[in-house]
Structure 1
Amino acid sequence: MSTDSLLEVQNLHVSLPSLAGDVHILKGIDLSVKKGEAIGLTGPSGSGKSTLLMTLAGLELPSAGSVVMNGHCLSDMDEDALARFRQTNIGIVFQSFHLIPTLTAFENVTLPLELAGMDKDYLEKAETALANVGLAHRLDHYPGQLSGGEQQRVALARAVVAQPPVLLADEPTGNLDQSNGSQIMDLIFGLKESLGVTLIMVTHDMSLAQRCDRIIPLRDGMIDVG
């Protein structure tokens, strides 16, 4: 892996079994991403965008090929090692927020720090993360008391609170109206710059993809070279 490369994907295949035979979702993806780069993954539904993102997160296992992030090959790790690696290296923002409804906004953000055994200033880090997304006044509110835009802000704060080098976003504005979606994307790109993270985002919205440094179009499980 080159010195300025944070992520190297080589000949990545993902197949799932079915009654009719294996379904090939990713078919030989090769991708190199530099530190601090913003990548937009685009393509029609079923092209493999979200599967690629989940494989980069170590949440989907490749059938063949490799994902090397920060010098670590994800395929060489067992489930526990992958979980520990994600805690400090990867933040994920999902379309559906995935907040724990019985925890407050503050508790949702502190949870990954507690699981990672962060030092005693983790409470301050969580407060800062929520303040950075404009929710300093919503610390004690539960997800059900927050709007969709506010819930996605909490999810974003949770994703970056440990200051991971990589932020993965899967259709982060998909469940939001245009105004809230625009605000979330401004926050994501603002945090990318201030924290220096590498951003890899799945989106159907070309106006969002065009804010990235590079657009990687996928079609039928492969990078579409046009």
Structure 2
Amino acid sequence: MYPQRQLAYAPTPYSIAPTFALSSTINLDEEAKLATNNAERDLYESLGEVYSIITTLDALEKAYLKDSVAEGQYTETCSRLLKQYKSNLQDESVAKAFGDLESFMKEWDMECPRARERIRVGIPTTVEQPSHKPAAEAAAPQIIMAATESFITLLDAIRIGMVDKDVLHPLLAELIQAVNVVTDKEFESRGKIVQWLITLNRMRAAEKLSEEQAREFQFDMQQAYAGFKASVAG
């Protein structure tokens, strides 16, 4: 007899004779359940909502670039989606299961580069990059006053030690929007406002600026305020 040769490939299921009786323990008529308790169900629902927000945000960004959605509608919808995204991830269990945006998108094979960038920045593109406005509208005294008050409010908050992310981020977002209503022109340190918005957006709600960061932030905002006043005066 010839010695039995070892196969160089894995045998197919048909080449193996089962030594036990095959039986099905799955009821095909029974609905498959992803969650076994309420906590798991809530978690999966939240993660599903985050997935939906990312895909919707990406579609919204594409629509805005194609002028398929009005600027006001885009700004309102984008702001709401970003807020919903952050709200879902404030839950510790959801945040833990989510991990981070890059790993989540990779795990679920999501091709949403525009949504990734918008979430990174944390504000609508209409806020980050203002559209052109008529000179008469930009020169309205009450609009300039509103932007000036936003600068003063933010600087006062920093001076008294309010350096929490959940305090500074909304003040800074309100500031850039007020400034954009006044002018779409670049001025000294305007870009710093957006950079700090991105920095704060990446921080957790409970985080604070370090002493060094707070000093740098205050300096940049003072420079931006001076640049804004010079731009308006000119």
TM-score range, shorter chain: under 0.3
More helix by share: 2
Which structure has the highest strand share of the two? 1
Structure number with larger C-alpha Rg: 2
TM-score by length of 2: 0.26
